[in-house]
Amino acid sequence: MKFGGTSVADGKKLRHVAELVKSYHENGNQIVVVTSALGGVTDAILEEAHEASKEGKVSRVKEFIADLTKQHHAATHESVGDNASTEDIIAELDARIEEIEKALTGICYLGELTLRSIDYLSSYGERMAAPILSGLIRSLGIESSHFTGGESYKKQIRFSIHDYYMATPGLGVMITYAPPCTPLIILPIAADSIQEVTNMPIDPICKREVPPDTPYTSYHEGRTYYFHDTECKKKFDDMAKNIVRVKRSLEDKKKISFGRLRKDIIKPGICAACGACAASCPSIIMEGEKPKLVGPCTACGICYNQCPRTITTEEGLVGSIRHPYAARSALKGVKGQDGGVVTSLLAYALEEGLLDCAIVTVKSEDDPWRPVPVIATTYDEIMESAGSIYTHSMTIQALMNAVLQGMRSIAFVGPPCNIDAVYKIYKSPYGLLHMFMRANIFPLGLFCMDTFSHEGIEEFVASKHLGLEDIESMKIWRGKIELEKGSETFVYDLSELDPYRSSSCKYCTDLTARHAAISFGGVGTPDGWTTVFTRSGRGYEIFHEAVEMGYIESRDLEEKEMARVLNLARMKKVQKYGIIRREK
Ligand SMILES: Cc1cc2nc3c(=O)[nH]c(=O)nc-3n(C[C@H](O)[C@H](O)[C@H](O)COP(=O)(O)OP(=O)(O)OC[C@H]3O[C@@H](n4cnc5c(N)ncnc54)[C@H](O)[C@@H]3O)c2cc1C
Ligand code: SF4
Ligand code: SF4
Ligand code: SF4
């Protein structure tokens, strides 16, 4: 008996399957049951893997894992009810889900999705369906156990694996095998688990053992694959090409699939049910007030781009830009966070006499890594201020002091929220405008995703048996935090800092400081470079002068580098959708 996706879509349907199996078993039949994953699970895992390889956002993986857990727990409660088996099933599901989380997190960090990872993840939908179905059958009074593919090999149940793959080419299947008068055996099969227990290479297409000296081999992403015949090799080569193409297309900002509309708009509940997506694509229907994909998606992006709730234009995501660059300091000894461009630009402007001072942020001498906003008036003070401190710095107070001290040309460095404060001072007739009319402020914005409380960072560092006073540099990127102490670098998952994240940052939607004269960030460009957006005419001129005068080296930002910034900017905008709900 073979049960595909729709017949095991949820708890109710699983129960129906189990009852059917029971009735056949009671009639003395010899049964092999093959089952798929719960509804949409395999697709969702693979989609998430693609997103993880592209965006590298661990927090997003966590959200996905929470949904996956909810779906499987709900199916268990719905089908098995609350009895003795339920707890065991849930424990097993949680262990499987943890493995998926680890794999997806790894993909986030590596930024690539290999065939082997796809293969590995493909089987997990079935590996989770297996314990539920097995427990459910047990709860109906029939002895039943489930095994991994590797375990099944050890138990010599080879024929069922082979037969299944002969019948259904593809990965990630689960077999329920029930000879008469014996317990049901449920087998989730994955190619890698088979390889664990055999010395012979396995053809990834037909799953048969192949002699290592087979003439049919392919080399893909650092690994040699062995094939049974030319046909298998051709299938694999086509698939490998396809994966490379899919990866490229995912990087292409124009290729956006329905999955993204579902994730950003439909799932968080901000779809306005206007029906525009369904009207423009035969693969989408409105099911009640919800758009649903019912046919193939070519990732043309039309539904996403025309949805009234998405933000898709470059200007909508990062504000208006005069020109984007990749840049780095051309000065000796600048220890910048990324390319040291902010520091070098300030150094140029100060030495050129364009500035009276700059409002920058340095580390407290008494309390290491506590941010202290200061008025820098010398080259050395500017140099000392290089580097990022991932905590709110009260920069406006220092700016106010500078104005009160009679400074007239002031550069101001801060993340988007600080730049917005300056912007508002100039825009609001009810604010401090009269005071700030006395000074000319040059706002330099830092890209920003989050900040963390000083005490939180301190606690986190202490939990790693380190002291903040010994940490020379701190860098947050690609979902990790890197701490440098002498010649050692300690790397941790950024999600470990979640409890200390500033709550205000959850509500913030501006990544790139759209109201700055120039914005600077690390995302997009390689290590040691800064992404620079010149925005105002003044910003453009001064940046170019600093380049011409040999303070900064620069080149145009490449399209793929810009795409990375746009992706992160989009992520910051949509993350808020999941948080904000209008109160009744
Ligand atoms: C809290 C925070 C979060 C950030 N998040 C991201 C991000 O998610 N993605 C990304 O691409 N870039 C982010 N950045 C920007 C990035 O870290 C670099 O500041 C930027 O790329 C410029 O690098 P640079 O080497 O040219 O700057 P540098 O030459 O090193 O100059 C950095 C300047 O920033 C000032 N500064 C440091 N900490 C603060 C602070 N807390 N408040 C105000 N000013 C400060 C310094 O005084 C100095 O003037 C963040 C920066 C901060 C401060
Ligand atoms: S276009 Fe957007 S808002 Fe309109 S129905 Fe589709 S998802 Fe919902
Ligand atoms: S409009 Fe394009 S991206 Fe959207 S569902 Fe249809 S084919 Fe997919
Ligand atoms: S995320 Fe927003 S609120 Fe938080 S520090 Fe950055 S700019 Fe300010």
Buried b (16+ CB within 10 A) or exposed e, 119-156: ebbbbbbbbbbbbbbbbbbbbbebebebbbbbbbbeee
Q: Determine the distance separating the centroid of ligand 3 and the alpha carbon of 263, expressed in angstroms.
A: 14
pLDDT for the residue 221: 61
**Residue 395: nearest ligand to its CA?**
1
216 Cα distance to chain centroid: 37
Q: Pick the atom of ligand 1 nearest to 382's CA.
A: 49
Contact assessment for residue 558 and residue 369, using Cβ atoms and an 8 Å cutoff: no
Residues 293-310 as b/e (b if ≥16 CB within 10 A, e otherwise) read: beeebebebbbbeebebb
Quote the CA–CA distance of 270 and 246 in Å, as a whole number. Answer: 28
Q: Ramachandran region of residue 191, left (φ > 0), alpha (ψ -120 to 50) or beta?
A: alpha
Task: Please state at what angle helix 537-548 crosses helix 341-351, rounded to 10 degrees.
Answer: 90
pLDDT at 410: 96
Phi, psi torsion values for 267, nearest 5 degrees: -65, -45
Count how many residues are written for the chain. 584
Q: How far apart are CA 116 and CA 121, in angstroms?
A: 9
Instruction: Tell which residue, 5, 6, 4, 20, has the closest CA to residue 136.
Output: 20
Q: Helices (H) and strands (E) in the chain — how many of each?
A: 23, 20
Q: Is 300 in the pocket of ligand 3 (CB under 6 A)?
A: yes
Does the CB atom of residue 297 touch ligand 3 within 6 A? yes
Q: What values do phi and psi take at 156, rounded to 5?
A: 60, 35
Residues touching ligand 4 (Cβ under 6 Å) are 392, 415-417, 448-451, 502, 504-505, 508
Element (H, E) at 421: helix 416-427
DSSP 213: T
- Give the Cα separation of 331 and 310 in Å (integer): 42
Assigned token pair, 580: 């904000």
> How far is it, in rounded angstroms, from Cα 553 to Cα 330?
6
Contact 361, 395 (CB under 8 A): yes
What SS3 class is residue 291? strand
pLDDT at position 177 is: 36
d(CA 577, CA 405): 43
Proximal ligand: closest to the CA of 419: 4
387 alpha carbon – ligand 1 mean position (Å) = 6
Tens-of-pLDDT digits for all 584 residues of the chain?
667 767 788 888 888 888 888 888 887 776 666 777 888 888 888 888 888 887 778 888 888 998 899 898 988 888 888 776 788 888 888 888 988 988 888 888 777 777 677 777 877 888 888 888 888 888 888 877 776 655 554 454 443 333 333 223 333 333 333 333 333 444 443 333 333 334 577 787 776 788 888 889 887 666 678 888 888 888 888 777 665 554 454 444 456 889 989 988 998 888 999 999 999 888 899 999 999 999 888 888 889 988 998 888 889 899 999 999 999 999 998 999 999 999 999 999 999 999 999 999 999 999 999 999 999 999 999 999 999 999 999 999 999 999 999 999 999 999 999 999 999 888 877 777 677 777 899 999 999 999 999 999 999 999 999 999 999 999 998 788 999 999 999 999 998 998 999 988 888 899 999 999 999 999 999 999 999 999 999 999 999 999 999 999 999 999 889 989 998 998 888 766 655 555 44
Close Cβ partners of 357 (under 8 Å, ≥ 6 residues apart)? 375, 376, 377, 402, 407, 410, 411
Task: Count CB-CB contacts under 10 A for residue 18.
Answer: 27
List, in order of start, the domains of the chain with CATH numbers: 2-198 (3.40.1160.10), 258-310 (3.30.70.20), 320-450+510-578 (3.40.640), 452-501 (3.10.450.750)
3-class DSSP assignment, residue 66 = helix
Pairing of strands 223-226, 217-220: antiparallel
Whole-number pLDDT of residue 205: 76
H/E run at residue 146: strand 144-146
The secondary structure of residue 366, as a DSSP letter, is S
Distance, CA 165 to ligand 3 centroid (Å)? Answer: 32
What ligand 1 atom has the least distance to the C-alpha of 361? Answer: 47
CA distance 56 to 479: 7
Q: Is the pTM of this model over 0.75?
A: no
Residue 443's pLDDT is 97
Spatial separation of the C-alpha atoms in residues 340 and 530, rounded to whole Å: 7
List helix spans (H) across 111-215. Answer: 115-122, 124-139, 149-154, 158-167, 191-196
> Which DSSP symbol is given to 494?
G
Q: 557-568: buried (b, 16+ CB within 10 Å) or exposed (e) per residue?
A: beeebbbbbbbb
Cβ–ligand 2 distance for 307 under 6 Å, the answer yes
Which one, of 120, 136, 194, 144, lies nearest residue 164 by Cα? 194
